[in-house]
Structure 1
Amino acid sequence: MRNAKALLSAAIVIASAAIADAYQSHNVYQSSGFDPALSIFAERPDDCPPCFNCNLADFRCHQFANCTAATGRCSCPAGWGGEDCTDPLCGSLAGGKDRPPRKGDSCDCDDGWDGINCNMCTSNNVCNALVPGGEGGLCYTGGMVVRQNYQQCDVTNKQILDQLKGQKPQVTFSCDAMDETCNFQFWVDQRESFYCGLTNCTAGVELLDDYSNKTSYECEKINCRCVPGRMLCGENGSIDLGDFLEEEIKGPASFTTIMSEGGASDDGSEFSEPAMNDLISSVFGDKKIFLQCNAGECIHESEVPGHERPVKTINTPLIAGIIAGCALFIVAVVLLVYYFSRRQSWGPIHLPDEDDDEAGKLMLDHKPASLAFRDVAYNLKGKEIIHDIQGVVHPGELMAIMGASGAGKTTFLDVLARKNKRGTTYGEFFINGETIADDDFRKVIGFVDQDDTLLPTLTVHETIVDSAMLRLPKDMGISAKMQRVDDVERQLGIHHIRHQLIGSEEGSGRGISGGEKRRVGIACELVTSPSILFLDEPTSGLDSYNAFNVVECLVNLVKNYNRTVVMTIHQPRSNIVALFDQLVLLAQGHVVYSGPFSSCQQYFDSIGFSCPPGFNIADYLVDLTMHAGTPRDPIEDSGSLYNPAEHMTRASSTMAVKSIRSASNIDGDSIGSPADREPLLRPSTKRKLSVRQQQERQLFSRRKNSGVPASTASRTDDEVSLPDDHQQWLRLQTQRGAPPGFNLDDPDATPPLADDTTGTDLDILIAKYRGSQVSSTILEDMENAITSANTANGNPNPDIVTNGNNSKVKGFTRLGLLGQFRILSVRTWRNLYRNPMLMLTHYAIAIVLAVFLGFLFFNLTDDIKGFQNRLGLFFFLLALFGFSTLTSLTVFANERLLFMRERAKGYYSPVSYFAAKVIFDIIPLRLMPPLIMGAIVYPMTGLIPSWPQFSYFILFLVLFNLAAAAICLFIGIIFSNGAVANLIGSLVMLFSLLFSGFLLNHDTIPKAALWLQHLSIFHYGFEGLIVNEVSPLRLIDHKYGLDIEVPGAAILSSFGFNNNNKAIDATSLGIFCASFILLAYAAMHFLLVERR
């Protein structure tokens, strides 16, 4: 065997030299040269040999390619073509089946490709076409197979190079990791000589030192074949190694490469197989084939051997610290709320200084104001509510406006106080005989509404102090203002409750009583020392004791400080009635009496309506107007005329008799004997009157005063004789009036109807007053005041009313916008921290939900699943903040009435109130929660750990929250009905949510509706958050067995998001916030105006 190998080796050397010499001196024939000759077989006869069919034994697929049994064609490996896979292909691997065959001595490869058959990549960009997704391709030159690598090597054995005499020997080596196979080809001047197929191959890398490694392929079996007619394979009758390669080369074989960083002398590759090594050693004296190789394999950048994606880590201590810090913040807020809620306003006692005298000067140096009015009327939607009312009230007097429900008391009081009414007001109003402008008039008056509108979270003292600070003169010292507050509290008897909360039945708990609240409301007006104080039913809802206390305080103000008080009152007690100085009695909008209360009794006695003894005259007068204003029933009227023989009917019960007796003071025993009464039990021609009708007949029938006792007065035919029991009326004396007279049953004895007829007996009362001496006295008093004012102002013409622009009855300069803002800010903050549940709930929910979201979305991965989770996280955050801002609907709802009344009274400018509410009410609820939640969620969910990204994340949450709150604030101001506002707010948020970009792709929105997306704050917030987080990422998508990296920006673009809109989105949210804040203020300024 050894002799055979020796002879074979000698033959190879001799043949190699001869072949090389012949190769240099003769032309090499190409297959193309035989094309003309082969053309004769185009129409060969049927007996010609068969065409190429690898299924036949005469044909073979080279490169150990598989034969397709169905077609008889070879399935050539990459880079090979032709019927039998012996022709190299050019172009590049990216060309696939369309690669062109080589037509010359070498291939002209595409850019970025190299190698004998253009299988080896040289640049990264050409690999994108060979990786799924078309991005992230990488030309790996490390030599270790990933999927299928290709190497081209130059043979470096010196003896072999010398023997080939300038012909270049080369080797191509490729491996398939999935099949565990490799291919080896030996080339001479880029013509394949023989090839080998290696199976059961394993690849490995060994780290030799810090700068070099060794890559090796170990294959258990190897099969080699010659390419017939090529060098070493019988070319030109030379040596043929075919039998040797097929019989002797069996394996195992190895292919190893050593690579060093920067290159080293030991770098290189070698191919080793025992039989081949013996041949090389015997012939050339080398141990094996030595090579210098270049490798190239197109892979995805994530497939680089040894490459491991960095594992995202969560900073647990940071998360724990943030959560603990937020919890401590909540604890601190609770402690501060508790401290401020428990802290009393008591402080060190300050001795009075010079400024304290200002409080006394405010009370003593003011100009007393008398109020006169005539021909006052009010028309609403064509209906006249009040008609031609007149009256006068002087300094030091208290005027009471009385009447039944619906008589027009409150409307008349509003007209006197020059409130902003919905209808049209007529008449003349005079202050000290002069007319003054409405704005100047409102500065010198105070107005107390019937229902209290006080902040329940403030104390009594704080409520009055706020009124004093906002409405007292700007140049008045603080100590003087506080002294004034203290004086008012003592005057009204509320000094002992000054530190109690106002309270309410709804939320803040019960505080002071109803009477105390009424006095606090009065104190808020008295503290400014108004010249005229108007009060709308100040005793309404109070018990008799508290009602008297309230009126007594008003009387003290009137008498001690020469003030003017006008109030409406419904059913005053007799001890309250005794305190009245002037009385205006209204009925159905008409004046029944207006004048001194001391003349009231005598006046009604004089017109035949005397108050019975023991009756409260206020109750009597109100009942009289009601009775007189009731239309008569003709059937009842037929039995209502007084008849001495039929003046009584039999009562249906003892109770009825007592009722009549108490009303008329008639003794039941004096009615007569049963025999006398029997005919009256069932009158057949008269309708029986009810008890109430009988009582009202006795009380409200008009009687004619005779001036002398009825028993001695001469009677006319028109007068009737009363029975003995009625003679008791003649002995009863009223407070100031004469004895009651007889009923006036003759229609001719009644006065004419009034001009504005009511169609009832009320016209009698109206007409009688217009022609009375009381009315004339008031008009005369008014004219005298006008004349005196004209004379004092240098205008002797009594027909010209002086304009009061120069009058001393003027207001004073109040605080500016900055001072108002400071006081209102303190009040708003007190209201917030004394009702802390809303604020604390927002903060607590922010922490709890942040931790819960951090748990659900903990450590988001940078893959498609992580992308989906990011979408869900950001969508939920925006939805949470968007719908939580619906609480802004009630920011002004709870104080709507309070604001309108305080604004009408001139407490402050609307802009000061609005700024205080926005800064100290909305911002604490809209700024802190997103900061708390963002600080916890961001590190727990593993979002990009970068300060710029974190800053944008917080910025978008805050801007979105503020924009949503501004929208809800605007809606809450526009719609006064809470249910409607809540519905509209929810619909607006849902509409905005629909166009966020999460539920509806931007590219699929119809063009006609695309503009609606620009109105969605959810779109700007969601796009800003997702672009800020995902755009810099490269997401992993595991497909086709690969971890494909997909740029986050590409995915966002497919979802319809613009990766360059981050700044635009932030700006848009800011514009939305500012715009709706301005719209909310405009709505408040123009809509929230008191109109009565």
Structure 2
Amino acid sequence: MSSTLPFFRQCPPGLGGNGCEEATCNSTFVDPTLRILKSANSTACSKCDDGFGGLNCNICKGLDSCDIRQTQVNRGVKGVAKSSSAQGQSNGLANYSINNTLTCNNQPRAITASYLQCDVEQATLSALFPGNLTITGIKVANVPNFTATGMAEWDAVSNSSYLSVFLDGVEQFYCQAENCASSNTTDHVQSSTAQWGTDLWHCSSFSCSCIETAKICSNPSFPLASIINSIGGSLDFPCDFVDPNNPFGQTQCKLSTAELNKFVGPDGLALRQCSYGSCVSQYDLEQDWQNSFLQRQSEQSGSLSNGVIAGLAILGASLAVFLVTLAFGYYLRRKASLLQRIDDRSAIGLAWKEIHYHADSAKSTTFMHKVPRERIQLKEYNSEHPSNLLPSSRGQYHILRGITSYALPGTLNFIIGPSGAGKSSLVDVLAGREKVGTVTGKLSWLSKNESHNGFEHRLIAVVDQDDSINLPGFMTVREALQFAAELSVPENVPKHERVRIVDETLQKLGLSQIANHRIGDARSRGISGGERRRLSLAVALVGQPKILIADECTSGLDAFSAQKVITALRDLACGINGGTTIIATLHQPSSQIFDLADRVILLSRGQTLFDGPPSASLDFCEKSGVPVPRGHNVADHMLALAFEGPEHQKHLRDTVLPDDFVQSALPINHGSRGSQTVTTFITQLHALTARSLLMTKREKTGAIAHILGSAIVSVFIGACFFKVKLDLGGFQNRVGSMFVMTILILFSSLSAVVGLAKMRLLMMRERANGLYSPWSWVAAHLTYELVLLRAIPTILMVCIIYWMVGLRSSASDFFQFILIMVVFAWVIAIYNMILAAYIEDLSTAILLAAVYILFNIFMAGFVMSLNSMPSVVKWLRWIVPSKYALEAVADNQLQGLQFIDTFAGVPVRTDVSLFANKLFGFEDGAYYRDLIVLACGFLIGFSFLLFLAVWWRMRELR
């Protein structure tokens, strides 16, 4: 029977018989086909030629052993090769300059052909197959010059290996390796024998063949034949160098392949009492020393390996992309700061004609608030539809009915009326806010100039009715104004001038004395209601708008506070040469406040009842048939008339626009549509990130809860899984600790839902006011959330649990473990942010997040094996982040890990990956694939979806 491996088709030295399955004696100077077979009843050759030894007499013994045999060859000793060095010289194959004198080389480094023999140490194999387990072999670096040296010729192949395993002198299986090369390594086999260095024999192709009749290969209880025949891949064969002063010295080696290590451990198959002995010419020795010297010189020249170069290239490219992006952002910022400033202090007014507003009668109350099909539309007025007779379409309310009026530049204008009159709807339309429904009409500027397209500041600023949304409670009054100034004042305004604008705004609105006071909120008391209202006005005015629209600016204030607020507005509306045009809605003004206005517009059920100066209000009431009694508040009297409805009034005033003002059409996307920002992305990102850090500094509860909570729970988990062993229970606890870490990350990520929902209303209001874009807000929120609340607690958790459990101690494994866990924490947190951004109802968002957590727990592979799932649901594992995270950390920790236990008295030591795949469904070598899927698939994909959700859902629809 011929051998199944091609290198053994013609038997190498030391092997013979049928299929090269028997050991032979004599020495390497004797032709392999002429060597005597070892006795079948002995564990080794009973006698070898002089100077040789070992199980099959391949190993030379002593420095002079090869020289003795060479002399015998030259003399024509019977049974040995007939070629000699002298014959070589006569044939012209050698000359006097080449020293072919042979010496015995007992080092593991193969110069030409190196012969070896080792004892095999493996507890499980020794228990299953007691006896003397020995491995013999040949490492061929270069084919020897058989003719010149007198060695017996055989079919040697350069850069190859031949290995045979014997049990009590009987060959069990044999292996061959190709594409081999020697190199020095710092990964020593055993410290006691590594003081002279270690040689690594690495082969890229390795295969084995089991002898069917052999004891190891024919045991039905332990079918090792199929396993041995499947061994392949690359081979690492390190051996420590022998003491150069001991010609009979022995060393320690090991065999290591990916498949073999699964059975014998990550350190490979231990080989002890290894003897090397090969006859090498002095010429070959000198050439090897010379080549080794040149190689050391090359290594000392500082050249980098391909792997290091590739790693540095990737790192450099990533750093370059980041720096280029950052530099481009700062370039745009500087470019904006160098723009020519336009100093136009003249006031601007606003005119509106035939404003109609139809709102949907039924708004969806589901958790996915349906965005109406019809967006706000500012259309030219169509005279074919009379304002008062425009019918309501089915399912809509006609809220505003053909309202026409104007606010002259630098004037104070009041819009009054009872509840439901349409005051807030009208100012929303004037401010350019998105409405749920359809808006038609015409808007235009009023000024002494032809155009305002080049004006550098925001033209319209809005103050909403609810102060609690506009003002973060953790900031001081000055900090709130500085934040607004940084985002609403253009880049070309220097910092010192922004500071001056803030100080002047504080002084104008009487806030200087409380500039360093906290604003406060429902949990912590801060400034008073009147001060909050004036601060809201200051936040809008710090951007120096031409028009200020204030909705219910005195609502909830006492008479004195309301008077102070309106007086401040009166001072701002100081004329066309520098004043601000004020349009304010009032619910029930006092007579003193009413008289401060330049113009009053009275609404009733979406129509105009009165439009003119306060001085004309008495005449209006008298013509309406209900004169104002002496001493009564005329504003209250007008509100009573408006409550009755416009159909009872016969003396409506017509609005006539003065001819001395230029009208210019107002762009459809005017005002605060969210895209009308005046600062660059970098400025917005800087301001928002700084505010988030300030919030963390002032309100430490959230960050402390994440960090301290993570530390406490991690200590508990680490104590539960403390110092796991390598037996069956230890293996279960090892994987269990990693699974618990993923669960901790899953549940702690629920705070991401609350964190984004908490900022939702403030973001929507500030976005509507044009302070920043949704993209900059998402980038700032992710920077704060992912670094402070996700990365830091996750790293702390891993550092505690990892070392308490006793996972792999190498730095590379530790940092790879942290990388997966941090990326996984980011993925889950961003997913929960998507829920919070898309779903307005917080309880529903948390419910769906909890359901997704259960889905991740079930599909991770620990609770139920992924391989045993029904095919109808098995595909779902590919869309679950926890599956990739747990598989990656398992591969990081279990690859090469040994399972060491005893079953039925037999010690078992094998690679845990053999049954981890069947038990959990994890794949070997999946770490980098899983990392790429988590980072490039889930992380980038979820981030994109978050941007879309914030852009689409987190905007005001009134």
**SS of structure 1 residue aligned to 2:770:** coil
Which residues of 2 match residues 645-656 of structure 1 at below 5 A? none
2:865 aligns with one of 973, 991, 1001 = 1001
- Residue 651 of structure 2 aligns with which residue? 768
| Alpha-carbon distance, 1:902 to partner | 1.6
1:372 aligns with one of 345, 351, 368 = 351
- Residue 542 of structure 1 aligns with which residue? 557
2:623, 2:651 within 8 Å by CA — same for their partners in 1? no
2:571 maps to 1:556: yes
CA 1:438 to 1:1082, structure 2 compared with 1: closer, same or farther past 3 Å?
farther
**SS of structure 2 residue aligned to 1:1089:** coil
| Alpha-carbon distance, 1:915 to partner | 1.0
914-923 or 971-980: which moved more? 914-923
Which residues of 2 match residues 432-511 of structure 1 at below 5 A? 432=446, 443-452=458-467, 453-506=470-523, 509-511=524-526
Which residues of 2 match residues 1032-1051 of structure 1 at below 5 A? 1032-1051=896-915
**SS of structure 2 residue aligned to 1:894:** helix
Which residues of 2 match residues 353-368 of structure 1 at below 5 A? 365-368=344-347
1:437, 1:804 within 8 Å by CA — same for their partners in 2? no
In 1, distance between residues paired with 2:122 and 2:484? 85
CA 1:301 to 1:619, structure 2 compared with 1: closer, same or farther past 3 Å?
closer
| Alpha-carbon distance, 1:803 to partner | 4.5
In the alignment of these two chains, the number of paired residues is 616
2:264, 2:910 within 8 Å by CA — same for their partners in 1? no
Note the residue ranges of structure 2 that are not aligned, 5 or more in a row: 1-16, 24-36, 46-53, 56-118, 134-192, 194-245, 249-262, 271-337, 361-392
- Residue 787 of structure 2 aligns with which residue? 923
In 2, distance between residues paired with 1:441 and 1:584? 30
| Alpha-carbon distance, 1:945 to partner | 1.2
2:583 aligns with one of 566, 583, 607 = 566
**SS of structure 2 residue aligned to 1:450:** coil
CA 1:390 to 1:117, structure 2 compared with 1: closer, same or farther past 3 Å?
same
CA 1:910 to 1:959, structure 2 compared with 1: closer, same or farther past 3 Å?
same
- Residue 817 of structure 1 aligns with which residue? 681
Which residues of 2 match residues 297-446 of structure 1 at below 5 A? 365-381=344-360, 382=393, 383-432=397-446, 443-446=458-461
2:620, 2:651 within 8 Å by CA — same for their partners in 1? no
**SS of structure 1 residue aligned to 2:574:** helix
In 2, distance between residues paired with 1:442 and 1:426? 27
In 2, distance between residues paired with 1:965 and 1:926? 8
2:691 maps to 1:832: no
**SS of structure 2 residue aligned to 1:379:** strand
2:626 maps to 1:609: yes
- Residue 254 of structure 1 aligns with which residue? none
| Alpha-carbon distance, 1:108 to partner | 9.8
- Residue 530 of structure 2 aligns with which residue? 515
In 1, distance between residues paired with 2:44 and 2:630? 124
- Residue 913 of structure 1 aligns with which residue? 777
CA 1:877 to 1:435, structure 2 compared with 1: closer, same or farther past 3 Å?
farther
| Alpha-carbon distance, 1:815 to partner | 2.3
CA 1:516 to 1:803, structure 2 compared with 1: closer, same or farther past 3 Å?
closer
In 1, distance between residues paired with 2:666 and 2:562? 36
CA 1:1054 to 1:589, structure 2 compared with 1: closer, same or farther past 3 Å?
same
- Residue 596 of structure 2 aligns with which residue? 579
CA 1:592 to 1:148, structure 2 compared with 1: closer, same or farther past 3 Å?
closer
2:411, 2:580 within 8 Å by CA — same for their partners in 1? yes
In 2, distance between residues paired with 1:856 and 1:942? 12
| Alpha-carbon distance, 1:145 to partner | 10
Residues 15-72 of structure 1 show CA distances to partners (whole Å, capped at 9, x for unaligned) of xxxxxxxxxxxxxxxxxxxxxxxxxxxxxxxxxxxxxxxxxxxxxxxxxxxxxxxxxx
Which residues of 2 match residues 961-980 of structure 1 at below 5 A? 961-980=825-844
- Residue 759 of structure 2 aligns with which residue? 895
TM-score, structure 2 normalization: 0.60
CA 1:450 to 1:118, structure 2 compared with 1: closer, same or farther past 3 Å?
farther
**SS of structure 1 residue aligned to 2:651:** helix
| Alpha-carbon distance, 1:392 to partner | 2.5
In 2, distance between residues paired with 1:481 and 1:421? 33
Q: Which amino acid aligns with 1:553?
A: A
CA 1:961 to 1:451, structure 2 compared with 1: closer, same or farther past 3 Å?
same
In 2, distance between residues paired with 1:441 and 1:478? 16
| Alpha-carbon distance, 1:1011 to partner | 1.8
1:390, 1:594 within 8 Å by CA — same for their partners in 2? no
2:901, 2:907 within 8 Å by CA — same for their partners in 1? yes
Identity of matched residues, %: 29
Which residues of 2 match residues 68-87 of structure 1 at below 5 A? none
In 2, distance between residues paired with 1:603 and 1:426? 29
1:581, 1:598 within 8 Å by CA — same for their partners in 2? no
- Residue 610 of structure 2 aligns with which residue? 593
| Alpha-carbon distance, 1:521 to partner | 0.8
**SS of structure 1 residue aligned to 2:471:** coil
1:392, 1:595 within 8 Å by CA — same for their partners in 2? no
**SS of structure 2 residue aligned to 1:891:** helix
1:571, 1:619 within 8 Å by CA — same for their partners in 2? yes
In 2, distance between residues paired with 1:860 and 1:438? 71
Q: Which amino acid aligns with 2:651?
A: K
2:458, 2:546 within 8 Å by CA — same for their partners in 1? no
**SS of structure 1 residue aligned to 2:787:** helix
- Residue 525 of structure 1 aligns with which residue? 540
- Residue 292 of structure 2 aligns with which residue? none
Residues 486-532 of structure 1 show CA distances to partners (whole Å, capped at 9, x for unaligned) of 011011111111111111113xx111112111111100111122111
| Alpha-carbon distance, 1:549 to partner | 0.9
2:949 maps to 1:1065: no
In 2, distance between residues paired with 1:913 and 1:569? 33
Which of 1 and 2 has greater Rg? 1
**SS of structure 2 residue aligned to 1:585:** strand
Residues 875-914 of structure 1 show CA distances to partners (whole Å, capped at 9, x for unaligned) of 1100001110111112321222222222222212222221
| Alpha-carbon distance, 1:437 to partner | 9.7
CA 1:391 to 1:950, structure 2 compared with 1: closer, same or farther past 3 Å?
same
- Residue 944 of structure 2 aligns with which residue? 1078
In 1, distance between residues paired with 2:544 and 2:764? 22
Q: Which amino acid aligns with 1:1073?
A: L
CA 1:601 to 1:1001, structure 2 compared with 1: closer, same or farther past 3 Å?
same
Q: Which amino acid aligns with 1:403?
A: G
1:474, 1:813 within 8 Å by CA — same for their partners in 2? no
TM-score, structure 1 normalization: 0.53
**SS of structure 2 residue aligned to 1:930:** helix
**SS of structure 1 residue aligned to 2:522:** coil
2:796 aligns with one of 908, 932, 936 = 932
In 1, distance between residues paired with 2:572 and 2:122? 103
**SS of structure 2 residue aligned to 1:1032:** coil
CA 1:857 to 1:120, structure 2 compared with 1: closer, same or farther past 3 Å?
farther
- Residue 307 of structure 2 aligns with which residue? none
In 2, distance between residues paired with 1:830 and 1:563? 32
